[in-house]
Amino acid sequence: MDRVALRGLKARGHHGVFPREREEGQTFIVDLVLGLDTRPAAADDDLAKTVHYGIVAEEVVAVVQGEPVDLIETLAERIAQACLKHEGVQEVEVCVHKPDAPITVPFDDVTVTITRSRA
């Protein structure tokens, strides 16, 4: 399976279990790896035979900016399901970063990574 990756998609969302997170929001960063067969698109040089990663990026940002959830695990699942709606995408790996998580000790990042497929 071939891979199309989008790294560092940034969007502001209001996800989290604490009232402050819901009220003020914070930046989330999303990395995606889409699994699909790119041979038909390459053979015909045809965008319609692959995934339009610009559209995927817009949809992912809309999910992050959309309805708040408590857990980034839930957010990752919603993003994965949006990606799998694209014809040809057989598998997706989603990594959601929450670099401003409310943690009381020094840290660089918090991530949740999931892999989902049509099967």
Residues 34-78 have pLDDT tens digits of 999 999 999 999 999 999 999 999 999 999 999 999 999 999 999
The range of the structural domain enclosing residue 57 comes to 2-117
Q: Which residues are catalytic?
A: 98
Whose CA is closest to 65, among 5, 7, 9?
Answer: 9
Distance CA 75, CA 64 (A): 7
Statement: the pTM of the whole predicted model exceeds 0.85: yes
Region 92-115: mean pLDDT is 97
Paired tokens of 22: 């819901």
Q: Give the CATH number, domain containing residue 80.
A: 3.30.1130.10
Asked if 99 contacts 110 with a C-beta cutoff of 8 angstroms, the reply is yes
Residues 11-30 have pLDDT tens digits of 999 999 999 999 999 999 99
Number of domains observed in the structure of the chain: 1
